Amino acid sequence: MTREQWIDVGSADELGKKPLQVVVAGKKTVALSYENGRFGAISNVCNHVGGPLGEGKLDGEYVVCPWHYYKFHRVTGEGEPGYEADRVPRHEVKIEKGRVLVSGEPATKRNKLHHDPHPLEREPEQHEGPPRVLGISTTNMDTAHPRTSTSELLLVDALEHARGDGLETRLIRLHSLSFRACEGFYSKSAQACTWPCSITQMDPQDQMDQVYEGIVHWADVILVATPIRWGAASSLYHKMIERMNCVQNQITIRDRVLLRDKVAGFVITGGQDNVQAVAGAMLGFFAEIGCLFPPFPYVAHSRGWSAEDMENNVRSVEASEELREGTRALLDRAVELAKRLRESRLCTSSIPRGGRKAHHDRSAEPAT
């Protein structure tokens, strides 16, 4: 290697004060590490989705990507034990006259292990037959000792009504699923928030995949039921929609609409008021991910601020034929709209959105 191919990246004394940092070596960005008196230099671009390795941390001799925690040996660029063939390029490093010199070109090539696409990555397709109805209950409870949920009571009644009309239905009770809360990959970078969610890709035990499968690939009509908790939808509802940021983010970073011509409606019940604020927030979120709504898109019930006799809430809803009829009618409106949308196909796979600039796919094969 001639001297012209070595890049002076700085003082060895200064660079040695940080265990890991990003330096520029010619046209390359490099993750430069220092451990046990030895420098190491590997590509700054992670094999997974291009995360900045030099902004991560060291775990022994391995650089941990800050986006999704993939590991690469800080000197050789090889993956952690068992994944050595999954490697990022390494750069030669030497010290001359107190200066750190890094090779301008990598000494090894990048090698990405083959991974079959996640089943959720497939393109959503319209199915044959009548609309499918997905019910999602967001009431939290002890599964071993279940109680009556007024919002779920109305939701189940509506699904029974749909089956009576010959429609296929599914019910997801969020409290019966084990899934992690959103871990803020989007807060690191828009590109770090992936479809499907990075947690779903990394953790086969995470059951949020059932929600993704139902909403993105299976359902035509989505009916979400929630109690009112301190003036807002349930904590489980918010846990779910935070994990659905990866659905909306596909529009933002790839101009790709995953939810096309799907209809959403809501069932909201609570001991205290704030129905309209809860409904507004739910409508806003589901509109943002591409759903449409029938006329009068929610059914709600509250006995008011002073109704602290909570034990009477269930009795009140159970005795209300008006609420059951109203929820069934909401479902009928949603199904009718879904049928019309299936004939017209209003939404396309990508769509211009005023005020929200789309950043197209930048996650191609990473540069070395």
pLDDT one-digit tens code per residue, 321-332 = 999 999 999 999
Q: Is the pLDDT of residue 311 over 90?
A: no
The 3-state DSSP class for residue 215 equals: helix
The predicted pLDDT at position 273 comes to: 82
Q: What's the rounded mean pLDDT across residues 126-151?
A: 93
**Average model confidence (pLDDT) for the chain?**
92
The predicted pLDDT at position 24 comes to: 95
Return the structure tokens found at 120: 């959720």
Q: Is the pLDDT of residue 360 over 60?
A: no
Superfamily designation of domain 6-103: Rieske [2Fe-2S] iron-sulphur domain (2.102.10.10)
For the chain, the 3-state helix, strand and coil shares in percent, each to the nearest 5, are 30, 25, 45
Supply the pTM of this predicted model: 0.88
**CATH number among 3.30.200.20, 3.30.70.2860, 3.40.50.360, 3.40.640.10, domain 119-344:** 3.40.50.360
Q: Please report how the helices 245-254 and 235-243 are oriented relative to each other, as an axis angle in degrees rounded to 10.
A: 30
Calpha distance 334→292 (Å, rounded): 9
Calpha distance 73→222 (Å, rounded): 46
Backbone angles phi, psi at 68, to 5 degrees: -130, 15
Task: Confirm if 250 and 256 have CB atoms less than 8 A apart.
Answer: yes
The predicted pLDDT at position 211 comes to: 98
Residue whose structure tokens are 């002073």: 306
The predicted pLDDT at position 365 comes to: 41
**Residue 357 pLDDT class (50, 70, 90 cuts):** low
The predicted pLDDT at position 309 comes to: 82
The predicted pLDDT at position 118 comes to: 94
The predicted pLDDT at position 362 comes to: 42
One fold for 6-103 and 119-344: no
Instruction: Supply the Cα-derived Rg of the chain in whole angstroms.
Output: 26
Domain ranges of the chain: 6-103, 119-344
Q: What's the rounded mean pLDDT across residues 118-122?
A: 95
Instruction: Identify the burial level of 276 via C-beta atoms within 10 angstroms of its C-beta, where 0-12 means exposed, 13-18 middle and 19 or more buried.
Output: exposed
Work out the percent of the chain whose per-residue pLDDT is above 90. 80
The predicted pLDDT at position 95 comes to: 96
